[in-house]
Amino acid sequence: MDFLEVLAEIVGSILIFLKPLVVPIGQWMVDWITTTTQFFKENLGASLTFYIVICAILVVSGIVINILWPGDRPGSIFSKGVEKIEEYEDKIGVSEDEDIVDEIKRCKDCGNPVGDSEICPLCGARQI
Amino acid sequence: MGAVKNMVRGFLFTGIYVVFTIVIPLITFTLLFNIEGLPIEWEKQDQQNITFWLTAFGLLVSGFAFFKYSSPKQSIRKGIFALIQVIINCLYLWSYRFSGAAEITFIIVDYGFFSLSLAQMILIYMGIYFLTIILKVYDVIDFTINREKIRENRMKE
């Protein structure tokens, strides 16, 4: 019994100590909840249709969003499109690189790009 | 496979929420209102009012519960909908109060009456819910900041 009394006194002291902090928080909670519930009561208190529709929308949209973005892999619909785009980008990227590399004429001595000129502008070596 | 698993979890928790926020309270109140033979008369209650608001907010809580529990772990959408669900839960709890269910007066025939006020208990719950709201806001910020890291870890699983 003594232990319980001590425990009750400790809990009571903590509550009294926290009262200046807890009371405004509780009051704030009560204020906004009262305002919101009052709004619901005045504007949406006639029938359950609104609430049923919201619930149905949440469930249906939850299902749709989970099909599109399940979380453990990229979304099933858009990922296919993205994969195809990436494939095309890779192909285009590789072919362009190869073409550019092949087309550029370089100096035989220093490797500097020389274009159509017969003399390397960097080292002066003739390219014929 | 992930989508199916998420949705099964969503439906499971929605069912639990429907049972605990709508079915059980409605059955309890219906029994209390209609039970005969007890020397207790309801004085202040408006059965229609209570059942309406419990059902209304219960539906919202259950809908948000589906969205929350069907979302991937630590996803931003899960965090946001968990936060909204906590806020709706506050309204649900408060609906007990403004519907009159938190202040019940029992009249015992040939004896007197006594009042049962659950308002203080609900206020304590509100304090706990405030802390929960803070935690949920922190979760949303955390999930947003560490989005890429969380996503990478999720993909590895």
Is a pLDDT exceeding 70 seen at residue B93?
yes
SS3 state at B51: helix
Is a pLDDT exceeding 70 seen at residue B53?
yes
Give me the residues of A, 24-83, that contact B with CB < 8 A. Answer: 25-26, 29-30, 33-34, 36-37, 40-41, 44-45, 48, 51-52, 54-59, 61-63, 65-67, 70-73, 76
Among the residues of chain B, which ranges form H helices?
A: 2-18, 24-34, 47-69, 76-98, 119-145, 147-156
Domain total in chain B: 1
Please report, to the nearest 10 degrees, the dihedral formed by the alpha carbons of residues A35, A39, A42, A47 taken in order.
-130
Q: Which residue segment(s) compose the domain that B70 sits in? A: 2-156
**pLDDT tens column, A8-36:** 888 778 877 777 777 778 778 888 888 99
Task: Mention every residue, 6+ apart, whose C-beta is less than 8 A from residue B156.
Answer: none
The reported pTM is 0.68
